[in-house]
Every structure is written in structure tokens, then in C-alpha cells.
Amino acid sequence: MECDVLVVGAGPSGSLAAKTIAESGLNVILIERNKKIGTPVRCAEGISAYLFKDTGIKKHNSFLCRKIKGTKIYFYNEQYILSGKTWQGYVIDRKIFDPYLAKLAQKAGAKVFSNANAVEMKRVKNGWIVGVNFGKIKKQIEAKFVIGADGVESKIGKWAGLEDNSNRGLFKCLEYEMDDLNIGKNDKFHICFGQEFPGGYAWVFPKSKTRANVGVGVNVKKNANLKQLLDFFINKYPNINKMIGGNYKILETRGGLIPANGPKKIDGLVGDNILLVGDAGEFVEPITAEGIEPAMLSGIAAGETIIEAFRKKDLRKNFLKIYEQKYKKKHYSNVKLDELNKIKIYSNLFFYIFNKKYIPKRIRKLSLNFLFNSIK
């Protein structure tokens, strides 16, 4: 098999990159190792109200579960409401959302394959040969260009020898999708801090009147038992235990890592005939750990970069550095993607303030005001 551009990974970043490039008429293949795109879910499925405007993707009832009208921050019994559009959004169903995006790529002309796992990659004169297991059958795809959209455990960048300039600010997470909860009309993202959650937080993202994604994420370097933390959160954290109630069902257990860093430096994102997007490039908001929208925006910016590179017939690293200018112009909620790295500078201090009981309340208020400027 041959193509102009091979996109490895059909998450939000890969599908948006494939869609953007296929629309230009280039020959695109998008591969996904899972049998079903979007399954299994490794996400709390919260998105900002800005996502559709920012990415140009149309809202569709099929994947919208619940409209969210604000965000509530907790520090045990202290509660802060963050209002304004930045803190509103939706809880979506990624089992429907991810295939929807891949379908858009397909409609734009990309060939999409699931159950297709990239297992090796070799440099050739005009690009790469990628070994792909289509189920039990191994095939080679010869591509002039490869996009690594293969998520937080990305291999593509390593195989291509891209510079490893990660900040290594990883969250490790454990989450349940739960049913039979007392959510009712509750329409907030609930984000809960405390000394039990070092370098992170716990969350309840309502999906319906009875259903929610409930999870905990902490700094990977802390020696934390996530199962114990999640049990504590569900049963003992003030106010949350009432929302959860005593008769809940656990529908799914999910785990995963989040590269909460903001984009890697450009030498870690591009090389000759190769580029990384989404979690593979660490396009994640360092405090909230939102990665869906930054992933989609990086996919679009990558697409624009590659279309220009093909037009100029220059697929080398030096030319591809225009990717940095392209993604820096993209707006994520009301911040530019570029500013994610600036937020990273504050993130350690922010988590310190929100993880320590001895820090006075007014410091937490000040830091929320400083960071988000929208506290009531």
C-alpha cells in the first residue's frame, strides 16, 4: 500500500489531521489499532463550550450527553463556582464522538482502517515504510509522510528518533463510569482538590441524571494508590459522597496517563517527513488536563503545515517548523495553544496551593482569581 500521508491513531488529533489533509486532495490513510474507533474510552469526556467554534466541527446530538453550565471547584468544604463560557461545556460520549470524527476524515477522502496496529517503521529515501498488523496479517505501508497521532504512549516519535524534550508532567488516572447516582439536575463539572490527590485532583462529570464519570488523577511521580484514592473520594469527600449515594453501579473502569505539559518544543514535534499531534506531542492543558480540544487543534495545524509542505515540495524538518507558528495561532477556549506552556510554569505552584490544608483560604481564592479571573 502507498499513500502521501499515513496518520497513525484515530483519536481526535489523528482524525482531524486526516480530514484536513484529505480535503486538499492528498492521498491519506488513517489507521487505528483498536477494533472499534473510540473504544475503549480513556477519558472523562468533558469538553469546553468553545470546542465546536474553535475546531469548526458541528455539534451532533448523537455524542452530546449533558450540557454543562459551569464548573465547581472544591477544597473539601470550600466551594468556588467558575462561571462564564470558559467553564461551560458538554460531557460527550467518546465511543460515538471519535468514530464521528473518523467518519468526517473518511468523507473527506481518507482511507480509514481499524484493527490496524503500526508495529515498526523504517526510513526510506522519500519517506517511511511502516509495518502494520491488520489483525493477523502484516502489511507494509509506504508513506511520503507520517503523522504520529498515537496518544500518550506514542511510539512513532521514538521510532523516528525525534528529540525527546518532554517535561514529563504526567498525571496517572483511574476513573469509573457510574450509574444510579444522585445527579438530578446537577449540571456542573465538579473538580475536587485535597492533600490526598498530590499534583492533581478528583472529578465528577455528569452524563445524565443518574450517570457520571468519576475519577482521580495525580502526579505520576507520587507513590499513590489510585484505587484507594478513588474509594476515599467516592465515600468520604464532603458533598461528593451525597451526589454519589450508596446504591451506585460501576459500569466501566478506566485508567490512563495524561501528558499534562503543553506542547513539546518544536524539535520534539517534527523531523524529516514526520510530525506529532495531540497527546503524542503533549498538547494538553497542564492544570485542567484537557486534551481533546488541543488535540483536535494540533491536528488541524498539522494538516495545514503538511499541505503547505507538499505544495512547496519540501517535507524536511526545517520547513516543517512552520507547524509551531500554525498551532500557536489556534485558540483553545479563550487562550492560544501557545499559552499552554505558560500555564505549565504556574501548575506546580497551583497544585501546591490546592493540595495543602495549611495554606489559608484567601491564598486559594487569590490563585483562582489570578489564574482564571472569573471566580464568583
Ligand X SMILES: Cc1cc2nc3c(=O)[nH]c(=O)nc-3n(C[C@H](O)[C@H](O)[C@H](O)COP(=O)(O)OP(=O)(O)OC[C@H]3O[C@@H](n4cnc5c(N)ncnc54)[C@H](O)[C@@H]3O)c2cc1C
CB of 165 to ligand X, least distance (A): 18
Query: Which of 10/309 has CB closer to ligand X?
Result: 10
Query: Which of 95/356 has CB closer to ligand X?
Result: 95
Query: Which of 8/204 has CB closer to ligand X?
Result: 8
CB of 117 to ligand X, least distance (A): 5
CB of 200 to ligand X, least distance (A): 11
| Contacts with ligand X, residue ranges (CB under 6 A) | 8-14, 31-34, 42-47, 117-118, 149-151, 155, 173, 175, 215, 254, 256, 258, 278-279, 284, 290-292, 295
Query: Which of 43/269 has CB closer to ligand X?
Result: 43
CB of 186 to ligand X, least distance (A): 17
Query: Which of 10/343 has CB closer to ligand X?
Result: 10
- Name the CA dihedral angle for 142, 143, 147, 149, rounded to a multiple of 10 degrees: -30
Query: Rounded to whole angstroms, how far apart are CA atoms 211 and 144?
Result: 45
State the cell numbers at 244.
Answer: 454519589
CB of 104 to ligand X, least distance (A): 14
Best CA proximity match to 259, nearest among 241, 242, 240, 278: 278
CB of 91 to ligand X, least distance (A): 8
Query: Which of 225/369 has CB closer to ligand X?
Result: 225
Query: Which of 72/356 has CB closer to ligand X?
Result: 72
CB of 94 to ligand X, least distance (A): 8
Contact criterion met (CB below 8 Å) for 248 and 231 = no
